[in-house]
Structure 1
Amino acid sequence: MEKVGYAEIAAELRKQMQNGVLNPGDKIPSLTEIQRKYGVTVTTANRVFKQLKAEGLTYAKPGVGTVVAARPRTAATGVARLDRLNATGNPFAVEETATDHMAMIRGCTDNDIIEQLRIEPYEELVIRRRTFRRNDVPYALGMSFIHQRALRDVPEIARSGPLQPFWQKTYTERTGKEITRSPERRTARLAADYELEALEVPAPAHAAVPVLVLHTTFYDEDGPIELWEDVYTPGFWQEDTE
């Protein structure tokens, strides 16, 4: 009896595509390699290939084999970027970048952020902002709202520009406190003018443009420490990574 089914194998390969282990144009393992690695029959291996092809994730390239398909209008989530960072050391797939890195300290008046980070109204936060791009087209505006207590151990978070390494890793190394995350939460709302400008969405001033918004909250042993908010460009598909 086979120890693993085609759905589990397909899920593992799908995850490798999401986290950047397999990138567009890369050849996926052959039928023989899948049979050998997972101890399955050729029938099961064939079902894996058919499933990934049916999802539009792969295609047959003459003279090469089955390769990963490009998905230019697919937007990565914050959790997908984090998984990719943990798996490969790089949060981006080959066609992704981040630009316009900014950092500031501001008092918070947003009730949802206040509730999720368990802070008082007008309490100061570190706010980090960047624009995520795929093939140089903006697909998401990323905002990080970081509790001010993180400044004691990682003052670098208040500086504009990319942070290397990821600040949460630095925080854990310096404090010994592990950081965990909540599941992603999804909602929709109307975009602010500055969000449309950052996402390069051509719309009249004060136009009502609906956008998808994802929130992820991070915790250490003392409570919430960071909230991610990703605002997605209309017209991009956002995949589930849970």
Structure 2
Amino acid sequence: MSGKTGYAEIASHYRKLIADGTLAPGDAMPSMRDVCNEFNVSITTANRAFRQLKSEGLTASKPGVGTVVVEQPRVAATAAARLERIARTGKPYAAKEKSINHTAQLRSITDPILADRLGVDLHDEVVLRTRTFVRDDSPTVFAVSCIHVRALGDVPELLSPEPFDRFWQEIYTARTGKTVTRAPERRSARLAYDYELEALNVNVAPGTPVPVLVLVNTFSDEDGPLEVWEDVYAPGLWQVDSE
């Protein structure tokens, strides 16, 4: 590492290791001396990076041990951050995370905004895949992938509800040679639909308005839009866009 490495870069490095699960809750952080040697920085810079992690609630001091990683029960990563983690580590899930209730089917698209993003006409058939991300047995994100039907010619497994052992677009690229790119992630808020509340185990009286955070990622290849991935966050969660 360059001697010009700043505290923010060091904090980001360990933030990613914590989100990956490489540094799990309860694990001891490296010593200040090790940090200084790895990044070729002063003790002042290393200490500032560690203070930053503590201020974010990612680490804490433990007598007799030093600085350790703490639990993050109310944090969920964005889709973009999850994809970055997969590319970096090959791990599909963060620490104590899994996905459940996978579905896959052909559906007629009725949302004009979604149809426009995917480059199809209203009522065209698309592949719809859903799953719920769970951490410590609590639902965190209800994820919906709306995939252009042309992808079925190369990845027919998309209609199977079974999760892939890697991101399905990697399989698509391997079979077609086409590079898939992702547009900047979009964020908004709206009221949750009943099926989203059910998936997230939010128990409220029928008709109760529940605002939720929604993140949208759009993927394309040389032939146009390929997938629109929408994440709906459980109320009360805060999300991170880097892991």
The TM tier, using the shorter chain, reads over 0.9
Structure 2 equivalent of residue 18 of structure 1: 19
Give the Cα separation in 2 of the matches to 1:37 and 1:149: 47
Structure 2 equivalent of residue 167 of structure 1: 168
C-alpha contact (below 8 Å) 2:20/2:95 kept by paired residues = no
Q: Mapping of 1:121-140 within 5 angstroms?
A: 121-140=122-141
Give the Cα separation in 2 of the matches to 1:64 and 1:83: 31
* SS at structure 2 position matched to 1:32: helix
* SS at structure 2 position matched to 1:188: strand
Moved over 6 A (4+): none
Aligned residues, how many?
Answer: 242
- Letter paired with 2:129: R
Structure 1 equivalent of residue 68 of structure 2: 67
C-alpha contact (below 8 Å) 1:214/1:231 kept by paired residues = yes
> Under a length normalisation based on structure 1, what TM-score does the superposition of the two structures give?
0.95
* SS at structure 1 position matched to 2:4: coil
Structure 2 equivalent of residue 141 of structure 1: 142
C-alpha contact (below 8 Å) 1:23/1:93 kept by paired residues = no
- Letter paired with 1:17: I
* SS at structure 2 position matched to 1:197: helix
- Letter paired with 1:213: V
* SS at structure 2 position matched to 1:196: helix
Structure 2 equivalent of residue 33 of structure 1: 34
RMSD: 1.6
Q: Deviation per CA, 1:6-41, whole angstroms, max 9, x where unpaired? A: 122112222332344333223222101111011111
* SS at structure 2 position matched to 1:90: coil
Structure with greater contact order relative to length (CA < 8 Å, sep ≥ 6): 2
Give the Cα separation in 2 of the matches to 1:63 and 1:72: 25
% identity of equivalent residues = 54
* Unaligned segments of structure 1, at least 5 residues: none
Q: Deviation per CA, 1:54-80, whole angstroms, max 9, x where unpaired? A: 111111223333122211011121112
Q: Does residue 1:206 correspond to 2:207, yes or no?
A: yes
Give the Cα separation in 2 of the matches to 1:218 and 1:17: 27
Give the Cα separation in 2 of the matches to 1:223 and 1:24: 42
Give the Cα separation in 1 of the matches to 2:13 and 2:85: 14
* Unaligned segments of structure 2, at least 5 residues: none
Give the Cα separation in 1 of the matches to 2:84 and 2:54: 23
Give the Cα separation in 1 of the matches to 2:84 and 2:48: 26
> Under a length normalisation based on structure 2, what TM-score does the superposition of the two structures give?
0.94
